[in-house]
Amino acid sequence: MIHFANMFRQLDRTTKTNAKVAALADYFRTVPDQDKLWTMALLSHRRPKRTVNSKLLRAWAAEMAGIDPWILEESYHVVGDLAETIALVLPEPEASSEKSLTEWITVVEQLAAYDEDGKRTAVTDAWRVLGTTERYLFNKLITGSFRVGVSQKLMTRALSQATEIDELNLAHRLMGNWTPHTITYDQLINSASATDDSSRPYPFYLAYQLEGEPADLGMPDEWQAEHKWDGIRGQLIVRNGELFVWSRGEELVTDKYPEYAPLAELLPDGTVIDGEILPFAKGKPLSFNILQTRIGRKTVSKKLLKDAPVVLMAYDLLEYEGEDIRSRPMSERRELLEKLLAENDTQGIIQLSPIVRWNNWEELAAERQNAREKHSEGLMLKRRNSEYKQGRKKGDWWKWKVDPLTIDAVMMYAQRGHGRRANLFTDFTFGVWDGDKLVPFTKAYSGLTDKEFNRITAWVRKNTIESFGPVRSVKPFHVFEIGFEGIRESTRHKSGVALRFPRMLRWREDKPVEEANTKVDLLAMLEEYGG
């Protein structure tokens, strides 16, 4: 654990990418293979499950520190992270430990089988021999909330430096349904082929939001345009007579979409399609709201299959006849995709994402404006000669989304942030007028500059009406423009609506609170865009 903690401290103390890569690469060169494997798992979100609830951890920590529980709670509100708070309030360690990262993770996983007394003994014994950083990391592992500010792309780059294996090859190897319990480091990194596991997907290629004017991209004939469908990005794989469906978050979701099952026989082996899991009926896409009824469900009933049918809206082909074709131009991959779907009847389960026909950027801009009517988020622009890369890259793929829906709302509640923003109010609840009363309808926490967060924090402290732990109610004074991607009816919210991806677009200091929007305005937007 000492080596892992030292590496973590190095990562935490710098914002420079090259320094983070160097620290990780050095770590991968020095620690045992099993620790390398667990580190890769943790940094790619394959962390152990929660084994102890936070209420018990709070009680044990307060007792061990010799403080009243309320002091720990107040400290938590200031620090903003429970694992860090506990690590800071505990007394100095009584001894030290030479256990490796792997050994400590074994301790964490074994906690699941203990009763409350056994858990308490194991956790407090660990706290007595771990330093502050080690305690913090141990606490994160216990609570199942371990996260480090390192992207999988950065980790892959560091691993490539340490192993001298091609980064693209490594990225592919790290995809899929592996855990340190099911594979060894050597099997994962040094296997003869990255496709030894027939279920393994390819790393997704992601686009940036378009910067500047589309005309700056050059001639229209260099680009392919299609709609940015509002579903769940997915990768469909048929290998060895088996079907696998992966979400962009590297979750195997095959069982959640039984509609795709026939494709194991309808598509030839060695086929990998990139597309969108999309609600679809009567020849056209449906609102994302319909798909949401299936998200998070462990079982899919016949009624749900009927009410929320899905297809795969296919827009790219990554593997054809068992060959990785990602390096071929976009135009060629598109031709092969069309050929594949023309030669194999998928019974409507796969739909080919239509290419937008356009002659100039003005025509394409008009198509973008109509995107919401087609339940699309806007347009995707892909350079016709582009390879299928990995991760988020600039230059060849751009998303040109429609402008967000907006509404002017009144700030009603403010909540302190977490971590480095624990001393600032960063999370806000907003309301609209219903007669002479404000009705809360959404929360938002992004969109302001650091300077604006400092200003609004100072105002909140001076204008608090009531406090509820980290939350404060404030007098209605400030108006903010709230942007969001969609709106749907919701019985769980007082306002009767729920917003998709709400965020603060700007602070409307020019607008008096009386001129904020109303519940009637909100319901009118629901009627028009709720689909």
Residue bearing tokens 């500010």: 149
Alpha-carbon gap, residue 65 to 58, rounded angstroms: 11
| Residue 383 parent element (H or E) | strand 376-383
SS3 310: strand
Instruction: Give, as one character, the DSSP assignment of residue 388.
Output: -
Residues in the chain: 531
Task: Decide: 335 and 291 in contact? Cβ < 8 Å.
Answer: no
Please give the C-alpha separations between residue 83 and each of 47, 72, 413, 506, in angstroms, as whole numbers.
15, 12, 26, 34
One DSSP character per residue, 27-53 reads: HHHHS-HHHHHHHHHHHTT-PPPP-S-
C-alpha 428/C-alpha 455 separation (Å) is: 14
For residue 4 the two structure tokens come to: 């892992």
Assigned token pair, 490: 């919701």
Residues 6+ apart with CB under 8 A from 299: none
What does the buried/exposed string (b/e) look like for 49-73 if buried means 16 or more CB atoms within 10 Å of the residue's CB? eebbebeebbebbbebbeeeeeebe
Residue numbers annotated as active site: 228
To which H or E segment does residue 474 belong? strand 471-474
C-alpha–C-alpha distance, residues 67 and 70, integer Å: 8
Which tokens hold the place of 404? 């967000």
- The pair of structure tokens assigned to 271 is 């086929």
